Each structure stands twice: as structure tokens, then as C-alpha cells.
Structure 1
Amino acid sequence: MEKAHAEILPGKPDGDEVTDDILSIRIVGPTKRALQMIDLPGLIEYHHEGPRIVSKIDSMVNKYMAMPQSIILAIVAADNDLNNAKILNWCDKHDSNRERTLPIITKPDRLRRDEIYTLIRIVQGRDDKFNKFNWHVLLNRATEETVEHVSAEERNRYECEFFRAEPWSELDPSSYGVEQLKHKLRGKYFAAAKRELPAMKLNIDRLLLQEKYSSLSEDLKDDDLKRIFKLAIDRLKFTAVEHAGGDRKYETSQFPDDSPIKLRSRIREQDERFCEELTNEDPSWMSPLDSYVQLSSQGILPTQPLVSKPSESMSSGHSDRNDRISAVGEKLDKTRGTELSRHYNPQTIAELFWNMSNRWEAIAKQYVENVYTCCKMYFNTVIKLQFARTEGSIRGADGTEVDGFPNVASVARKYMFNYIIPKLKQARQNANLELWQLEQDRRDHTKNHDKRFIVSQKDHRNSTQFRSRMEMKRSQLLMGKTTVADNHTIDMENLAEQMEPSSLLDYRNKKGEEFLHDAEAHYQIVRDTYIMNVLTQVQERHFLRNIVKLIPDDLCLTEIQELIKEDDEAGRKKLELRQERLNLEEARNILEIWSED
């Protein structure tokens, strides 16, 4: 007790303090009853530090007295005036029918002879002011008995001798002494227990309904285990196909809109992010082809960035189209082979395209990784749902057969790690191999039979001719070679001379512009095809379209048994829960027997 006092109230050796801390001393044994003894501070009327301590003690005592399952031992010293004992008023307040109260008078050896007779009348119930209580008298140990460690037997013998002497011998033997107090307490204890039986039984029933107990099951038979696994896999496959297709069911609606279980929505987000990133990767300066312009203006596709980033193989200093054309012209000069003069290798267009599209594979690989992550998060969520008992089974609508695993979290984790993850990794590897096929196609000879390419070439020639005409007209006006009457005409001979490159450099740049335009037009058309190929041949083919192939269903009995096998800690916890459940069931059975009695 002294050690506990030092821990709870350090620095206060005199014990002149009250706290809410409880010192609990537990005594366990085969013959010990489930009884808690709570020794509360004695009631006081005054404290030198003020009313705080007094109020705190009063509040603490009232709290425990108000508990309906408590037995109140109201102790009053014999030399105190019972009329001033506020504990008796609280007994009236909290236990008006006296079912839980046992008032005890102590220190009877301190009374004068006339006071003894008054106390005897009270204990015998002959005093109208106090006859509603069933009093009991105890003789306290003397101080020397405590110091000299007098045994309990000696103490009881001395107490019996005290009450057998005059005038205490007038009391009924059942109203004094420790041994008789034990009998009274036993009666109160069992009476209180009987009153609490219905509530205790309801509480035990409520505890047994807790998930940690209700989910416990006995070891499954082999046939039941295989049946449960097949049902769980069938549910998982059916649900996965629905979620991959974007179908919605009630259970899906119970999850947030951004939940991984809404698989098609999460993949759609990755699709759009991939398309946008690849579209914004466009390094060309040319306007998008008509089909793209129309879709962008309608808000269907992202608008092209105002400034595109050239590929790393082109100089970062090319800030306008003329610089870009000049750079392509230099490339034409530096890559000449056996062509005749003023002819250039058409393979240069392919090289320009390859430089522009160099990052496609890296962007697509990241897209595949994102799709893999979405699928992984999806299965992490959905397996737990489909491997658990269905609501119909829990409600008994499907009979008494269990259709899910009791330790669903552990089973789902093992199935995910041992079977789903390897399948997902294989799908990711196959998807990346499919990307490699597309990458090889990108690196191959340039092929383009899209009519947009021909139309784009024609539009480019018309635009070039139109610019030449406008430049010729401005030149004529500046030189005063036209009048107001003929200012809408152009000298065709001069125009032809102007359109003909005056030098090899001009001719080279003209060809450079044509090559650059064709490479950019080819880039835009092939990019759109590449996007569709990645979405269908890579993502859909290897992940969502055949999602059931990612769910292994051919596990043998041994593998299924390994799934439900618990680790040592989980097994120990399960045994503890089973023992707890057994104890509760036994307690409920005993309470039912007592209730019948």
C-alpha cells in the first residue's frame, strides 16, 4: 500500500490527498467468488485546504453507491451521532428499499454504559428513527493487536467474548461479529446476483453476438472447404467481369466514388491521362490536323499547348518555325548519299518522326504501370468482400451452410499475394511485350495510307503558293509597278521567278519545309493510331478484357488448406477467443439454471 501511495501521490507522504486513481488488488483462486471490494475514503465535514477535498470524497462515494449492482457497507462509528451520519441519507437516496444496504456500527467498546443501551435499542430495531435499517455491530481490532499481528481466530474469539458479556448479551447473535457478517454479506451477494441475472444474461448474449465470437467457427471439413472456395471464386469472377465492364451493383454503390473497387472508372482516368500526356508531347509547330482541331474546339480533347517542346535531338534554341526548317535543311545536307543534286534521301522523314516520337514507349510503360496498380488495388478490396460470408448466408436465407471464410482477412491476403499478384505481374510483363511490338512498329519504315496525310500535303502546297503570291503582290506595290486599276493582278512571269528558289540554300530550305511538314503530319496520324493500339491491344487485351484469367481457380485441397492456415499468433488468438466464448456460454447456462431456481 505504501509503494502504491508513493506511485500515485509522489511527494505527499502524509496521505492528505484524494485522487481518482484506483489501486486494484486481485485475488484469484478456484474457490474465490467474483466479488469486488472497494474501500472508499471516509466521509469528512471539514478539510484545512477547503471544500475541494470534501466535495471530491462525497462525489466519489455517491458514484459507487449509485451503481445498481453494488452492495453498500455503510460504516458508522458507535461514538458518532447517527442523526448526523450523512451516509444514511445517501443510502435512502440510492437504495430506498434497503436491498443493497448493510449498515455497520463499529467501535462499540468506546461507549459509556447509558450509550450502550441506546445503541442496543437501535440495533434491535426498537428505535423508530432507525428501525428501517438491518444493523450489524463489529468490534474493531485494538492498535496493539495490529502491531503484534494477532491472528484472525484470536480476534474473532475476543469479539465473541465481548458481545456475550453484559449488557451486549441482549443482542441477537446474528446481529454482531465477523462470522455473522459473512453470512449476511453472502445473502446480499446472492440476492444482488439474482436481481442482476436477467441483465447479466442479456449482456452475455450481446457479447456472444460480437463479430470476434460470431466469426469463429470449427475447423471445416475438406468437402466444405472446397465448396466454400469454389463459391468465393465464382463470386469473385462474376464481380470482376462486372466491374471491368463498368456495371454497377448495390454493393459497389456503398463505396466512395473514388474507391478502387470502381475499376472501370479508375482505368478510364488512366486512359485520359495517357491520351493527354501523349497528345501534349507533340513536338511539331504545325497546326493539328482538321479532325483534331474540331475535337479540341468542342472540348472533347485537350487543347494543344501554346509552346510545344522539340525533341532532344533538335536544338533547344529553335524558337520559331524558320529555325526549325533551317535545322531540317542542315540535316538534309548532312545525310546525303547517292542522290543526284538537289535530291534528298526520303528516309529523313522517318528520322524526323522517330526523333519526335522517342518518348512514346516511356509514356506508355508508365501507363501500363498505372493500370497494374489500379488492378492491384481493386483486387485488394474486392477479394475481402467476395471471400467473406454473404449477407444471405449470415441471415440464414441460404440455409445453414457457410459460404465464406471465417478468417477472411488472412485468406484474402494470402490469396492476393500468392496467386493474384503473380498473375498481375505476368499480365504487366505481357503488356510490356505488346508495347515492345508497337515500339518495333514505330521504328520500322514509315507507312501512311490515311487520307488526311494527302489532304495535309495538298493544303500545305496551296498555303505555300498563297504566301508566294502575297509576297509578290506586296513587292509589286512597293516598287510601284501596279496601278489602282490593276492592283488585283499579279505578274505571273515574276511570280514564277520568285517561286523558283534562287539559290541552293533556298531550295534546300524549301525541301526542308516539305520534309518537316510531312513528318509532322505523319506524326499526328500515327500518334492517334498508337494511342488506340495501347488502349486496346495492351491494356484491354492483357488486363480488363480477360480479367477472369487473372483469378486462379485450380487450387488443390492442400493449397486451399494453406490459405486458411493461420500463423502462430493468429492461431493462439483464435484459441483464446474460443475459450472466451466457451466461458461466456457456460456462464449463460449457469445463469439460466439459477433463473429457473
Structure 2
Amino acid sequence: MGDGSPQVQLRNLQSSDELDLVDAIDKLRSQGISHYVSLPQLIVCGDQSSGKSSVLNAISGIPFPTKDHLCTRFATEVILRRTAAEGASVSIVPSQDRPEAECEQLAQFRESLPALDDIPNLIDRAKDAMGLSAANNAFSNDVLRIEISGPNRPHLTIVDLPGLIHSENKIQKAADIDLVQRLVRSYMSNTRSIILAVVSAKNDYANQVVLKLARDVDPKGIRTLGVITKPDTLPVGSESEGAFVALARNEDVSFRLGWHVLKNRDYETRHCSADARDLAEAQFLSSGVWNDLPPGSVGIATLRQRLSQVLLDQIRNELPHLAAEIESSIEHCHVELSRLGESRGTTDEQRLYLLRISQSFQSTVKAAEDGSYGDGIFGDARTADGYCMRFRAVIQNLNLEFADTMRRAGHHCKIIDNAALDAGEENRTVTRTEYLNQIRELLKRSRGRELPGMYNPLIVGELFYEQSTPWEGLARKHIDLVWKSGVAFLDLLVDKLADVDTAEALRREVIHPAMGVLLNGLNHKLKKTIAPFQTGHPITYNHYFTETIQNVREKRLQSEVQKKLVRFFGVKDPVTLEDLPVEKMKLASLVEVLATRNEADMDRYACSELLDCMEAYYKVAMKIFIDNVAVQCVEIKLASKLGHILSPSQIIQMDASQIGRIAAESTQSQDQRERVSRKLTILKAGAEVCKRFVGQTSMSMFRPPHCLRLRLISSDTLQHHQWPVEGVEYFEAEVDEPIADEPNADEPNADEPNADEPNADDLQDDKIVSEPDSAGGPFLPTETEISWESRFGSLPTLDVVQYKGKKGKVLGKPKKMKSPKSKYSTE
């Protein structure tokens, strides 16, 4: 079986061609990037006492405790690193669920050891530190990290997880069952984790929880590799032995990565060496039904090779996505640091920080007032915040709503014609006749020296003041809405320009006090604006006033003429002249009727004229008042002053005490900047590593074909070529997305015709169509699916692939396995 020393065992996990890539991933992990993005890793999971620790022991060479009465009670991360000097250490990553004091205490646990044989003792001490010796703490969310370094170590991470519990007992409670399942599921749910689902042959695999969880998180079985342990416990020739052999053949529970069979040490052989363990395993698996399995799916040596390839393929597939995730995280870090600003421990640094904020504040407010929303800070207008930032749009819409409200509800009562009164009208609606009666009483009580049929001009003012009573309330409501919109705009703006603490301080120290002053100024200005419409006598020189009176009188005259015509001709509702009986009509009589306009009630006539003047003046005054509120109050007293609330000159005039209250960093802000800066540094280093590898288009490990289709070439076609070998089947390969590489001198020119290339008409398309496995290649011909395990079976392997466009010849040789040569090869 070869040298079974830990160093050789670990080296077998990776070949020299793969070390650079695996080293790159480990470099990312060593920089701490795994705290921010998930990295590809191998995780070992299984039911309790399924042999997980023994599997990890065999893979890594680390002597994990495997006592029959004990089980893994926490996640164990094994970090393997290549360094010049040998070393090993054990540390604890505390769970975030623990109190801060306990986290600090556990984080200080770190012990080194000179030899790997001391690891079990260190693990026991770590358990004590976690408090697992107590009966009420059977399992822990803490993570035990074992770091092993040396010149012959690869860079690799393997995670051993607690065994899944089936039922409660004296030590393991219902809460422990749930805790373990959540912990294992969290690791398995990471799409960059390769799941080693360990199944013990001592129990019916259909009842083992690990398979259900694996199917839940990986329903297609793409990243799960099943491992069968303890096959020596099965009775020879039994039905259960046959069931597990079928499972190993991937016939029952099917995983894309297939299954593997291991024989672990038992209690009697627990102290034997690695060589003795491997020899006993080889002897057992080379006899009986296990000997019929493909050599590549049994034994620890081939498992290490499989894991090497699987891990490499997972890294290869995930690296482009990992690079994109890192770039996205870097962008988020830049946004966060921009909001936090630079470190500001001194007054000068704090003042400079506020000066920069004030400059951005003024320019943004100016743009918002001008309605220029091109800057990204304004956001999407369709969102609530985006609309709030567009202050000019908010003002315009509020002013339009105010004007509409004034027209609809600005009058004390609505005066309508007698015939238009509806029973459903609002309470403040009165007919013209009713209102004229009210005016008559006022006219009687306000008589002066005017002649009968005339009215005191001051009464126009009294009627107007009563009719415009709602104006002040509507205007104050409008002013309040505009002011609140301004506050919301500035609050949101400082949130975008400053960190949380500084934004809150700016609101408290500057924004809200200044807006309070502006509100007082608004109310004072509104009082002045409405005063002329509440006291004194009406004044207007607007021609619209006289035009309105004339229009009202013309409409009333038209109505009177129509009524006279109806009475004169005795016709109801005439529409045209033809409707009038004009044959025997005397023109003088008609003229006399139309010209007669006697109003015996002179007071009523005066009241009608008075009402016409009041309504005309009301319309003129309302337009003036709406404009004055929009210009004198909203625009001059509020909108034009927002930019001056936080100006550079104000920042310069602030004393050191106020500067400190506003811009001094809190401990949380300092810690946040430090965390984000540290995260950004790590992410940038990770981005450089990813770019170095993702950018190498000549490396097949990063640009595999998405689909390789193999089609059998007919024997008739093969007879016309010199390269066929008797007894070997030949296939044409078609790649969905070929890679444009430089021409290879050893390969045919893709632009030149090849006489030896089989014609497409000679291909049997119904033979084989295979998708790439997660191991990434090479692909081998079978009658069903080309699986990763085929590399270790007796099937022929692909030796040469010559691509021309999307097609090429594939030669298969039933000889010992060789590395495939193709345009995707690095050779």
C-alpha cells in the first residue's frame, strides 16, 4: 500500500499540477477572507458513531479521538498549511450566541503542541474550555480549529461535524438534537462545500439522517460523495451486504460524485499503524463481493485521489463566482467607508470632515431646489426616498394641491343659483336668494348716507372677510406640510452624507434648530400675508375684477331676457327662432317687454349688486393670496434658505466644543471603520489572487466545456482511416462552448480541411450524450452516463481530443490511464 506516514498521506491529496490553485485558495483562507465569503471546503457528516472521525483520521493523518463511547460534540476545522517549520496548534472560534465575556475568554484559548499524538489531549482541554464537561452542555456551537503546518503539508481545510442524533438519552436532550441538525445543515447548505456523507454499514442506510439532509440541501446530488464505513460488519452473502454493494455502485441513492467504501480500524485494531490499517483494508476489499467494485471506489488511497480531484473541480467551478462576490463586497466596503469618512481624532480633522459634508450639503440642496436630479444621491424617483430627495418636485406638487384646495374649499359658503340647489349639497351651500336675504339684513344695519338702491362699499369687505375665513387654516396646513417635507429632505440628505452618529448630531445641533427658526419665520410671514385679506377695505386695480362683474351681470341679463321671451310668446323652452310664433307679433310690444327692468325693491337691487362685487373681488383676491403664499412664504422664507442651514462658513465659526459634539467619533463608529477597513484589505488581496487565476484563459481548470457530447463513429467510416485499433470504439466529441486557444503546432489547423475527419452523416447520434460531471473531466464513454468513477474503472480513457470548431475526434485506448491531451490541457 506504500508509505502510510501522515506526510505522504496528506501529499496524496494533491498533485504538483494542482498545488498553485489550492495554495491560492488557502492563501485567501489564511488572510481571513472566509469570514466574509464562503470558500470551497470538504465537510465530513454522518449519523452519530458512523465512523466520521475515523474517515477524517485516515484522510488527514491526525489521530482524532475515536472512543466507542464518545462522539464529536462540536465542529472541528482542520487547517493544513505548508510552511518551512513543523507545527500544530489548537484554538477555539467562539459562537456568536455566547455572551461577549465568554467569547473573549474562549478566543484567548490557543495551545501549541510538538507532536500530533498530543492532539487528543488538547481536544479534551478545549472541551473543558467550552464547558462540555457539564451534563447540561452536551453540544456546542463553538468551532475547534486544528492548524497543522509543515514543509510537506498541502493547503486544505476539512471539517468534521457532530454526529446527527436519532433520539434523546440521559446526556443528549431534544435541544441537542435540534442544535446539531442546525449546525450540520448550516455547513451542508454552503454551496461551496463538498459533502462527505458517511454512512455506516452497521445500520440500514435508509434510516440514517445524513442522507435526508444531503438530499434536502443538495437535491441533485451534485456536490455529495457518499462514504460507506464498517463493511466488515455485514454478514457475508447476506441481503444487507448486497444492498450496500448496490449502494456503492450508485444504484440506489445516486450521487453525481458516486460512493466510496472504506474499512476503518475497529476497537481491537485502534492502535495499529497507518500502514497496517491500509493493508488490512486492502485485503478485505480485494475479497468477496467488494472485489467486484471498481478499484477507484474502494480504499483510502483512491479516496484521497478522488477528494483531490473533487476539491480541485469545486475550486475551479466556484472561483469565478467567488471573484464576483468579492468584487461586490469590495464595492459595499467603499460605500460604507465613504459614509464613515476618514479617522477624525482631533478638532481639525473633525472640522474638515464637517466642511466636506457642508460642501456636499449645499451643492445637493441647490440641485434639489433647481430641480436638477442627475446626481446619484437623489436615487430612484419611484421610491419614497427618491421622491423625498426631489424637493422642488415636492414643493411644486404641494403648491398645486394648495391651489386646488383653495378653489374647492376656500369659501365660507358656496352660493349657487336657486334652481341648482340639490338636497345632497354640503351644509355650507346656500342659494343666491337665501344669501341675498342675509345681505339685506346686514345692509339695513349698516346704512350710511347712500341713496336708496345703493350700498355702503365697506360692506363688500365685511362679506369678503366672512367668505375667506378658511384661508388662514388652509394656508397654515400647507405651510406645515411644506416645512415637514423640508425637514424630511434634510434628514435624509445628512443620512446620505454622514455616518449614523454624525447625522444624528447634525440633526440635533444644526438641522432641527434651524428648521424651527424657519418655521417661526414662515408663520410670521403668513400672518403678514393674510392680514390684508382680513382687515381694512378691499383694494384691487386688477382688470379681472371689472371683467368678472361684467360677465356676471351679462349672464344674469341673458337669463332675464330668456324668461321674458318665454312669457311673451307663451312657449316653453324655445331653442330656435322657428319655435317662436312671430307672424302676428308687434315689434314695439316685444321691445317694450325686453327693455322693461323695474326693481321695485331697491334694497334687493343693492344687495344683488353688492354680492356681485364681493364674488368678483373674492376671485381676484384668492389668486393673489395663493401666489403670495407660494412665493413670499414657501419660496422666500423656506426653500431659498435651506442651503444656508449647513454652510462652510457656519462650520468655520463653530467652536471646538460644538465641533466635537457633532463630528467626534463614537467607539462604535471607530470600530466599524476599523472592521470595514480590515475587511476591505482582505477582500482586495483576495481579489488579486482570484484575478491572477481567473484571468488565465489557457488553464483548463477555469474554462471547462459546459457540455461534452460523445457520438460513436460507425465502423464503415473507421475502415477508411489509418488510426483505428481493433476492438476499440471511437467517438466524436462536440463541445457546447469551445475555448479559442492559440493554434498548437502538434494539432491540425482548425482552418484547414482534414481528410481524416469523419463525416457527420456517419455518426450515430443515438449512442451517447453525456453532460460533464462535477469532477470536470476527462469524460469517458459508457452506455449510460459518464461518471467520475470511470477514471478508476476498467473502461478506456480518452487519450487525444482534436478540436475543430465545435467538433473533433476522440480516440479511446483500453490501456493504463494517462493524462488526457487536448486543447484544454496546460501542456
TM-score by length of 2: 0.45
Superposed displacement of residue 581, structure 1? 4.6
Distance in 2 of aligned mates of 1:346 and 1:579: 77
Tell me whether 1:362 sits opposite 2:473 in the alignment.
Answer: yes
Conserved 8 A contact 1:350-1:445: yes
Opposite residue 433 of structure 2, the aligned amino acid is: N
* Aligned equivalent of 1:551: 646
Task: Output the CA distance in 2 between the equivalents of 1:308 and 1:371.
Answer: 37
Worse-superposed segment, 555-564 or 537-546: 555-564
Q: Give, as a single letter, the amino acid of the residue that structure 1 aligns with 2:266.
A: T
Tell me whether 1:411 sits opposite 2:526 in the alignment: no
Q: Distance in 1 between matches of 2:681 and 2:456?
A: 90
Task: Check if 1:239 corresponds to 2:367.
Answer: no
Report the residue type matching 1:36 in the other structure: D
Matched ranges for 1:549-588 at <5 A? 549-553=644-648, 554-555=650-651, 556=654, 557-565=656-664, 570=668, 574=672, 577=675, 581=679
Q: Distance in 2 between matches of 1:237 and 1:118?
A: 76
Amino acid at match of 1:512: C
Distance 2:440 2:545 in 1: 22
Letter in 2 for 1:265: A
Map of 1:39 onto structure 2:
163
Q: 1:192 and 1:483, CA in 2 relative to 1: closer, same or farther beyond 3 A? A: closer
Q: 1:92 to 1:427 in 2, by over 3 A?
A: closer
Q: Tell me, what secondary structure is at the counterpart of 2:389?
A: coil
- Aligned counterpart for 1:277 among listed residues 365, 390, 405: 405
- Mapped to 2, the partners of 1:205 and 1:319 lie a distance apart of 73
Alignment check: 8 A CA contact 1:237 1:551 kept: yes
Give ranges in structure 1 of 5+ residues lacking alignment: 6-21, 110-116, 137-183, 288-304, 388-404, 593-597
Of 229-238 and 536-545, deviating more is 229-238
Once the two structures are superposed, residues 182-226 of structure 1 have per-residue CA deviations (whole angstroms, 9 ceiling, x without a partner) of: xx99xx999999999998997896797374698457733544443
Amino acid at match of 1:235: S
In the alignment, which residue of structure 2 is the partner of 1:219? 343
How does 1:105-504 map onto structure 2 within 5 Å?
Answer: 105-106=265-266, 122-123=281-282, 127=286, 129=291, 209=330, 211=332, 215=336, 219-220=343-344, 222=346, 223-251=348-376, 254-257=379-382, 259-281=387-409, 282=411, 283=413, 285=415, 319-336=430-447, 344-385=455-496, 387=497, 405=498, 408-443=499-534, 444-458=536-550, 484=584, 486-489=586-589, 499-502=597-600
**1:40/1:470 CA distance change after superposition, 3 Å:** closer
Change (3 A) 1:43 1:435: same
Task: Give TM-score, length-normalised by structure 1.
Answer: 0.60
Q: Is the CA contact 1:69–1:192 (under 8 Å) kept in the aligned structure 2?
A: no
Distance 1:81-1:126 versus aligned 2 partners, 3 A rule: closer
Give how far 1:333 is off.
1.0
Please identify, of 82-91 and 441-450, the stretch whose mean Cα deviation from structure 2 is larger. 82-91
Specify whether residues 320 and 192 from structure 1 end up closer, same or farther in structure 2 by C-alpha distance, changes over 3 A only.
closer
- Distance of 2:312 and 2:594 partners within structure 1: 118
CA RMSD of aligned residues (A): 5.6
What CA distance in whole angstroms lies between the structure 2 residues aligned with 1:119 and 1:340? 130
Conserved? CA contact 1:456–1:521, under 8 Å: yes
Q: Distance in 2 between matches of 1:521 and 1:250?
A: 47
SS at match of 1:209: helix
Q: Does 1:535 align with 2:630?
A: yes
Give, in whole Å, the separation in 1 of the partners of 2:254 and 2:569: 119
Q: 2 CA distance for matches of 1:355 and 1:243? A: 39
Measured in 1, the distance between the counterparts of 2:470 and 2:73 equals 71
Residues 71 and 236 of structure 1, relative CA distance in 2, 3 Å threshold: farther
Higher mean displacement: 202-211 or 543-552: 202-211
| CA shift for structure 1 position 273 | 0.7
Alpha-carbon separation, structure 1, partners of 2:515 and 2:473: 20
The alignment partner of 1:266 has SS state of helix
* Cα-to-partner distance string for 1:483-525 (whole Å, 9 max, x where unaligned): 9453345676x999x64543xxx11111111111111111111
Q: Deviations over 1:236-271 (max 9, x none)?
A: 211211221212315267412462122211211111
In the alignment, the residues of structure 1 paired with residue 73 and residue 426 of structure 2 have an alpha-carbon distance, to the nearest angstrom, of: 77
Identical residues among aligned pairs (%): 13
> Counterparts of 2:370 and 2:504 in 1: how far apart (Å)?
25
In 1, the alpha carbon distance for the partners of 2:415 and 2:433 equals 10
Amino acid at match of 1:256: A
Structure 2 CA distance for partners of 1:543 and 1:123, relative to 1, 3 Å: same
Q: Greater helix percent: which structure?
A: 1
Deviation at 1:348, TM superposition (A): 1.1
Q: Distance in 1 between matches of 2:524 and 2:644?
A: 18
In structure 2, how many angstroms separate the alpha carbons of the residues matched to 1:270 and 1:45?
77
Distance in 2, Cα, partners of 1:118 & 1:470:
120
Distance 2:359 2:336 in 1: 22
1:267 maps to a residue whose letter is I
Distance 2:277 2:547 in 1: 124
* Pairing 1:525–2:525 present: no
Greater fraction strand: 2
Aligned in 2, Cα 1:52/1:205: closer, same or farther, shift over 3 Å? same
Deviates more, 1:126-135 or 1:526-535: 126-135
- Between 215-224 and 542-551, report the one with greater CA deviation: 215-224
Whether the 8 Å contact between 1:271 and 1:535 is mirrored in structure 2 is yes
What SS does the corresponding residue of 1:446 show, helix, strand or coil?
Answer: coil
Larger RCO: Structure 1 or Structure 2 (Cα < 8 Å, ≥ 6 residues apart)?
1
The correspondence for 1:513, drawn from 605, 608, 631, is: 608
Cα deviation, residue 429, structure 1: 1.9
> Over residues 423-461 of structure 1, what are the superposed CA-to-partner deviations in whole Å (9 max), with x where a residue is unaligned?
222222211111100221112221122223234445556
Report the AA paired with residue 437 of structure 1: K
Tell me the equivalent position of 2:127.
Answer: none
Separation in 2, partners of 1:559, 1:525? 50
Number of the residue aligned with 2:576: none
Amino acid at match of 2:528: Q
**CA contact 1:77–1:105 (8 Å) conserved in 2:** no
Is the 8 Å Cα contact of residues 511 and 646 (structure 2) preserved in structure 1? yes
Residues 33-73 of structure 1, C-alpha deviations (whole Å, 9 max, x = no match)? 345344357546986xxx9636x554447899989799969
Structure 1 pair 135–276 and aligned structure 2 pair: CA distance change class (3 A)? closer
CA distance in 2, matches of 1:510, 1:328: 11
Cα separation, 2, equivalents of 1:490 and 1:358: 46
Distance in 1 separating the partners of 2:510 and 2:277? 87
Question: In 2, Cα distance between the equivalents of 1:193 and 1:560?
Answer: 55
